[in-house]
């Protein structure tokens, strides 16, 4: 365990939360060799995070950087594409480049954990934004566009301490749809082997990667008035995407006319994003399937709806989520 990292990293086994046994039972595989908890809220992270935690904490941040920050499955990719297109003056030609190359994922260096996979499958090659994402991002020219699922308390030190003020766009989504989407994603992309009921327990008991959910959301909601932070909601994007586009353009210091807003909203529609290879992660799913890395079917761009939880949650489970949500949102002014 890295001694010099500042976050009190502890192995999940040593900090057993109520459901950590389920995490270790159903969610250890070639992508996930173990878990740690970090920071004041005991954020769950894959153990490979330790390999780059110090580099990430020490990272040189630039005021021109633009971050999209989110809990997994809350509309990150959608927001990234919106932000990138606005910031790059609607360069739809440039947007044909694979999203992770132009908007890399900060803590994606999961191949540190792949060891035997790399020797078993030498035919798979991985770009640096996957093998060493922190280094890849450190060497990018400005303005950099950076995706992360890390909550405020674990962001690079210069952001936490306020010595740099990059633009941060945070996107949140209601807990039930987030959980359903996270379940499908975990089966399709991360090798989760349990059922939906157990996944919900893991979600509600703050035992999934990047949990706890509520302290994640609150760490940005409570900072929403900082001039460098914009707080968005998935549900607002579904309801009125043009308004969210305008608000985001304002935040990024860009002006768009009505026609440009309309064209961008069309580019960002679920159907267009589902068909867009630059953002739909179809290639990653194909690699997983071709190499039998994952035993699940589906698509990253799955259904893109609000309220899909109704089809899969029992009334009892839905009540549990509602009470949990009410308890955590009481007095915060946030409706989600």
Tokens representing residue 323 in the block: 């009470």
Name which position in 273, 285, 294, 336 contacts ligand PPS (CB under 6 A).
273
Name which position in 102, 167, 184, 187 contacts ligand PPS (CB under 6 A).
184
Nearer CB in complex with ligand PPS: 73/144: 73
Which helix (H) or strand (E) covers residue 215, if one does?
A: helix 213-221
Q: Is 65 helix (H, G, I), strand (E, B) or coil?
A: coil
Nearer CB in complex with ligand PPS: 130/268: 268
Distance of CA 86 to the CA centre of its chain: 20
Nearer CB in complex with ligand PPS: 5/169: 169
Nearest by Cα to 132 from 111, 160, 162, 159: 111
Nearer CB in complex with ligand PPS: 205/308: 308
Name which position in 254, 302, 325, 334 contacts ligand PPS (CB under 6 A).
302
Residues sharing a CB contact under 8 Å with residue 137, sequence separation 6 or more, in sequence order: 59, 104, 106, 129, 144, 146
Q: Is 185 in the site for ligand PPS (CB under 6 A)?
A: yes
* Shortest separation between residue 77's beta carbon and ligand PPS, angstroms: 3
Q: Is 304 in the site for ligand PPS (CB under 6 A)?
A: yes
Catalytic residue among 108, 149, 185, 216: 149
320 vs 336: CA distance, rounded Å: 15
Distance of CA 296 to the CA centre of its chain: 21
Q: How many residues bind ligand PPS (CB under 6 A)?
A: 21
Nearer CB in complex with ligand PPS: 164/184: 184
* Shortest separation between residue 120's beta carbon and ligand PPS, angstroms: 25
Name which position in 303, 318, 325, 328 contacts ligand PPS (CB under 6 A).
303
Whether the Cβ atoms of residue 219 and residue 153 lie closer than 8 Å to each other: yes
Give the footprint of ligand PPS on residues 65-104 (CB under 6 A).
70, 72-78
Q: Is 336 helix (H, G, I), strand (E, B) or coil?
A: coil
Is there a catalytic annotation at residue 291? no
DSSP 140: P
* Shortest separation between residue 226's beta carbon and ligand PPS, angstroms: 22
CA distances in angstroms from 162 to 42, 53, 134, 186, 226, listed in the order given = 22, 19, 20, 34, 11
Pick the stretch among 9-17, 195-203, 264-272, 312-320 that binds ligand PPS (CB under 6 A): 264-272
Question: How many CB atoms sit inside 10 A of residue 215's CB?
Answer: 19
Catalytic site positions: 149
Binding site for ligand PPS (CB under 6 A): 70, 72-78, 177, 181, 184-185, 268-270, 273, 301-304, 308
């Amino acid at each position: 365990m890295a001694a010099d990292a500042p976050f009190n990293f502890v192995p999940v086994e040593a900090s057993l939360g109520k459901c950590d046994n389920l995490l270790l039972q159903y969610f250890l595989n070639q992508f996930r060799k173990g878990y740690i908890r970090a920071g004041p809220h005991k954020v769950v992270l894959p153990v490979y995070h330790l390999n780059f935690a110090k580099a990430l904490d020490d990272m040189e941040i630039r005021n021109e950087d633009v971050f999209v920050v989110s809990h997994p499955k809350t509309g990150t990719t959608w927001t990234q594409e919106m932000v990138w297109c606005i910031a790059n003056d609607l360069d739809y030609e440039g947007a044909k480049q694979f999203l992770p190359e132009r908007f890399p994922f900060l803590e994606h260096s999961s191949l540190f954990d792949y060891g035997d996979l790399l020797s078993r499958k030498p035919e798979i090659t991985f770009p640096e934004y996957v093998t060493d994402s922190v280094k890849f991002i450190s060497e990018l020219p400005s303005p950099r566009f950076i995706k992360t699922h890390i909550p405020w308390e674990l962001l690079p030190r210069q952001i936490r301490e306020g010595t740099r003020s990059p633009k941060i766009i945070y996107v949140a989504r209601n807990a039930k749809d987030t959980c359903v989407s996270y379940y499908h994603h975990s089966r399709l992309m991360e090798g989760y082997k349990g059922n939906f009921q157990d996944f919900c327990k893991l979600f509600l008991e703050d035992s999934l990667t990047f949990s706890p959910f509520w302290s994640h959301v609150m760490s940005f909601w409570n900072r929403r008035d900082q001039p460098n932070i914009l707080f968005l909601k998935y549900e607002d994007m579904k309801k009125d995407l043009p308004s969210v586009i305008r608000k985001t353009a304002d935040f990024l210091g860009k002006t768009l006319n009505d026609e440009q807003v309309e064209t961008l909203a069309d580019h960002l529609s679920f159907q267009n994003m589902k068909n867009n290879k630059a953002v739909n992660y179809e290639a990653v799913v194909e690699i997983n399937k071709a190499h039998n890395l994952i035993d699940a079917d589906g698509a990253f761009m799955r259904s893109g709806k609000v309220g899909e939880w109704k089809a899969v949650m029992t009334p009892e489970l839905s009540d549990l989520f509602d009470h949990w949500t009410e308890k955590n949102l009481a007095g915060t002014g946030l409706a989600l």
